Amino acid sequence: MNLRRYFIMGSQNCDRKPENILEEAAKAGITAFQFREKGERSLSGHEKLKLGRRLRDICEHYNITFFVNDDIDLVEPLGADGIHVGQGDIRLEKVRGMFPDKIVGLSVANQTEVDNSPIQLADYLGAGSIFATPSKADAQQAVGPEWIRTLKRQYPDMPVVGIGGITTSNAASVIDAGADGVAVISAITKADNIKRAVKNF
Ligand SMILES: Cc1ncc(COP(=O)(O)OP(=O)(O)O)c(N)n1
Ligand SMILES: Cc1nc(C(=O)O)sc1CCOP(=O)(O)O
Ligand SMILES: [Mg+2]
């Protein structure tokens, strides 16, 4: 599992064909991808499944770890490598029980969430929002890279990715704080030059 350059995207994040954006990012060197088809202008039902299949095929071709966001019903149909869940989603214990062999990620935004979560059941943590994000209306208040340090002090062996408002300009501060990777939406979907953006991470 390589979470160093973790790209997250759904069609609602894209001004052009999602397949083309993912393919450019894949060629440029992302290491993990999360299919997050969610919120305003997002697809549902069969259209969501069909897009997921096309994006999964691109990841398979470029050997990129493929995650589904939230939706347990898509994990098997898409042949996903893993699933990412947050505090308001299906409980981690249940996800782990359903998918003992998949990679499971959990979001943690503050110490209370950590204290109330079975952290050891997760394979990695998504820590954020690190900075203010334009991509998630219900994101919690930005906590800064210090949150990564706090998590790594408690769980030195648990992979942690920073998420929320991460750009090529501030990613180094997230990695310097001990993160194993950076998870981004807009820094890639909105980039003038995706190849350059991915390489700069
Ligand atoms: C890698 C990663 N980290 C955090 C999140 C956020 O998950 P969640 O809190 O469940 O919010 P939604 O993405 O479902 O809106 C994530 N998706 N990925
Ligand atoms: C999906 C997601 N989760 C977050 C969290 O804080 O848990 S922030 C976020 C959106 C990240 O998008 P961008 O890279 O454009 O800021
Ligand atoms: Mg979620």
For the stretch 144-154, pLDDT in tens is 999 999 999 99
Of the listed ranges 55-59, 69-73, 139-143, 162-166, the least confidently predicted one is 139-143
Question: What pLDDT was estimated at residue 10?
Answer: 98
Q: Which comes out higher in pLDDT, residue 49 or 140?
A: 49
Using a 6 Å CB cutoff, which residues line ligand 1? 8, 34, 36, 38, 69-70, 84-86, 89, 105, 107, 126, 128, 136, 161, 163, 183
Q: Which residues are annotated as a binding site for Mg(2+)?
A: 70, 89
Catalytic one among 11, 107, 117, 129? 107
Question: What pLDDT was estimated at residue 63?
Answer: 98
CA distance 21 to 70: 22
Q: Is 27 a catalytic residue?
A: no
Read off the pLDDT of each residue in 83-103 and give the average, rounded to a whole number.
Answer: 98
For the stretch 42-58, pLDDT in tens is 999 999 999 999 999 99
Distance 139 CA to ligand 2 centre (A): 7
Domain 5-200 top-level CATH class: alpha beta
Q: Is 91 a catalytic residue?
A: no
Q: Which ligand is nearest to the CA of 39?
A: 1
